[in-house]
Amino acid sequence: MIIASFDVGYGVDEEELDDMLYMKAYDELGLDPEKEYTINHQKADTDESSGVYNLFITEPDVIDEHTASLLEKTTYIDLLIPAPLLYKTLYTSGK
């Protein structure tokens, strides 16, 4: 998994956000255009004026490879969470 943060600036439409982050990820992180990636994002700050987003990038084949043995024992997985998100709750106040 690749985790990166990008500042997309101010005034980016929600409709354009996914495409912009996707292009920035390929351009700035040197992702292989021949491979398929799953790219998810989350706003890094609760401040509405902030344009910083955290990106979580995975290769579906790698996820399948790492979870194959687990799926033999477990028939259903509800959620996979990247480790940095697990720790976030320790540092976030209960606002």
Per DSSP, helices labelled H in 1-95 are 14-29, 60-73, 83-91
| pLDDT tens-digit readout, 24-56 | 888 888 888 898 888 888 888 777 777 888 888
Mean model confidence pLDDT for the chain: 78
Residue 42 CA, distance from chain mean position: 7
User: Per residue in 66-77, pLDDT tens?
Assistant: 777 877 787 777
Task: State whether residue 22 is helix, strand or coil.
Answer: helix
pTM, whole model, 2 decimals? 0.67
Structure tokens of 27?
Answer: 């351009």
